[in-house]
A and B are shown apart, each in its own frame.
Chain A
Amino acid sequence: MNISLNGEERIVRPGATVNDLVEELGVPTRGVAVALDHVIVPRSAWARTVVKVGARVDVVTAMQGG
């Protein structure tokens, strides 16, 4: 099924969780936060939050900035 991960279309298996997507990005989980359809998903809920078709997932972290 299709979702949007950090602005890019991705095909993921049905039943994929937020945790699966963060792992797919291959990023350290420290200093990272996730929004699912513009709503924060707390880290404690990543493993049980299933992403639905057409979902928009943003995984963000701190970058250099003024």
Chain B
Amino acid sequence: MTSSPTPGSNDPDPLVIAGRSLASRLVLGTGGATSHASLEAAVRASGTDLVTVAMRRVPQGGAGGLLDVLDRCEVALLPNTAGCRTAREALLTARLAREALGTSWVKLEVVADDRTLLPDVVELVDAAEQLVRDGFVVLPYTTDDPVVSRRLVDVGCAAVMPLGSPIGSGLGIRNPHAIELVRDAVDVPVILDAGIGTASDAALAMELGCDAVLLASAVTRAEDPASMAGAMRHAVIAGRLAHRAGRIPVRRLALASSPVAGRVGS
């Protein structure tokens, strides 16, 4: 029998991606925070050790110290290719990120349109293949389609990140069955990405067998981001523990937990 994982530095159940061990199974997106102070409080409360950033043209005078904030929090950076519509754009963005931030890890996003922000999986697989060949550790944001996930792993992706529902929607996991199928289809970490609204969504992702959860808006746009970040931290830990603990089967009718024998009056 395996011992229960406990959160902390001696966690016997770390998340391992491309040979790198992460203590937290929560990846925090930094988009949507209203201030650096609010972001810093949320990052600290979340317990995460990996956060996403976007790559954008520098405004005149500089970008305002985001990297200093994240340095202080001692978190690793996962640059994304948000906003890219084609493999060509995603490749340039990923290479700029590698040059700017000194990391070969990339959250690969290639989306089809602004209304849904759904992944364009044809461009996605093409971009993933080229980036892997170029030495990147590729974590693709993808649909909840197990076949696409298998294709992404076939071309060398280090993890797959299926959506629960559209980015920023807070609709949660609309097709839990599909997420389970993705989990069964690949042998790399599955990170539920996009759509998380509240803590129970994150716990469900982990109970379904996901290895981690990536979320941004649910925390950064909450009324109290730091409190929600704390809630997400505990939800991910709880969901993981529940997944590993082996839940009881679902039954249609009651099964008494008190002894049947010896009832008074029987």
Contacts and interface: CB of A to CB of B under 8 A. Distances in A.
Interface in A19-65: 25-28, 30-35, 38, 40, 42-43, 58-65
A6 B217 contact: no
B60 A62 contact: no
| Chain B contact surface mostly | mixed
Given A26-B61, A27-B58, A62 B167 contact: no
B55 A62 contact: yes
Interface size class of chain B, counting residues whose CB lies under 8 Å from the partner chain = 35 or more
Nearest to B83: A65
B100 A31 contact: yes
A20 B183 CA distance: 50
Interface in B34-85: 39, 52-58, 60-63, 66-67, 77, 79-80, 82
Contact of B96 (A7, A25, A35, A63): A35
Given A7-B57, A26-B61, A64 B96 contact: no
Contacts of B66: 62-64
A42 B132 CA distance: 20
B61 A27 contact: yes
Nearest to A24: B60
Given A25-B60, A27-B63, A31-B100, A65 B54 contact: yes
Contacts of A32: 58, 100
Interface string B202-243: 000000000000101100000000000000000000000000
Question: Which of B33, B62, B168 has most A Cβ within 10 Å?
Answer: B62
Given A35-B96, A60-B96, A65 B58 contact: no
Ranked nearest first, the 3 interchain pairs of A and B with the lowest CB-CB distance are A65-B54, A66-B29, A66-B216
Interface of A: 6-7, 25-28, 30-35, 38, 40, 42-43, 58-66
Interface of B: 29-33, 39, 52-58, 60-63, 66-67, 77, 79-80, 82, 92, 95-101, 167-168, 214, 216-217
13 contacts: A25-B60, A26-B61, A27-B62, A28-B62, A32-B58, A35-B92, A40-B95, A40-B96, A60-B55, A63-B66, A65-B31, A66-B54, A66-B82
